[in-house]
């Protein structure tokens, strides 16, 4: 390998002019993914008539997820249907569920989509656990 070839290789290793913005671009891309996932989740919940849908942005206070969605169902069967629809629609949109917990009792089912965690609960469980108050430091915004 000659010196000129080596010099060319070194030049290729230098950061591109836009490299200083790479973290910002990464954050914008992740924020877009969160917004897309939230849109899929909200639509899936509304399709099966979820009650009291609330979205909480926890990105500033949690390293587990960027957003939490809390919704109520009217019965255990309704809660199961809501959670299943969220998981199915998320898969179709390219958001693979990491885990689904609570399906056997169906009083509270958690669907973990990575960037977004969805809690589908019976009203009694929602009132008892009061997740909205637990995450009160984050901004909660009602959806429907």
Sheet containing 108-112: give its strands across.
99-101, 108-112, 116-121, 67-72, 51-57, 139-142
pLDDT at 15 over 80: no
Mean pLDDT of 119-142: 82
pLDDT at 24 over 50: no
Q: Which residue in the block uniquely carries the two structure tokens 């000659």?
A: 2
Q: What is the number of other CB atoms lying within 10 angstroms of the CB of residue 36?
A: 15
The pTM (predicted TM-score) of the whole model is 0.75
pLDDT in tens, 28-87: 566 788 899 999 999 999 999 999 999 998 888 888 888 999 999 999 999 999 999 999
Q: Which segments of 1-144 does DSSP mark as H helices, in order?
A: 3-13, 22-47, 76-92, 123-129, 131-134
Would you say how long the chain is, in residues? Answer: 144
| C-alpha 128: how far from chain center | 23
Q: 52: left (phi > 0), else alpha (psi -120 to 50), else beta?
A: left
**Spatial contact of 126 and 72, defined as CB atoms under 8 Å apart:** yes
pLDDT at 17 over 80: no
CA end-to-end span of the chain, whole Å?
Answer: 66
Mean pLDDT of 105-109: 92
């Amino acid at each position: 390998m000659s010196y000129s070839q080596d010099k060319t290789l070194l030049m290729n290793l230098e950061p591109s002019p836009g490299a200083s913005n790479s973290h910002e671009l990464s954050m914008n891309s992740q924020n877009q993914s969160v917004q897309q996932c939230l849109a899929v989740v909200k639509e899936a919940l509304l399709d099966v008539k979820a009650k009291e849908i609330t979205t909480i942005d926890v990105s500033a206070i949690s390293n587990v997820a960027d957003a939490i969605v809390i919704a109520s169902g009217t019965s255990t069967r309704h809660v199961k249907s809501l959670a299943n629809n969220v998981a199915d629609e998320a898969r179709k949109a390219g958001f693979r569920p990491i885990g689904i917990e609570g399906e056997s009792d169906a009083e509270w089912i958690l669907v973990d989509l990575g960037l977004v965690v969805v809690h589908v609960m019976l009203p009694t469980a929602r009132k008892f656990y009061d997740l909205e108050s637990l995450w009160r430091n984050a901004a909660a915004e009602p959806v429907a």
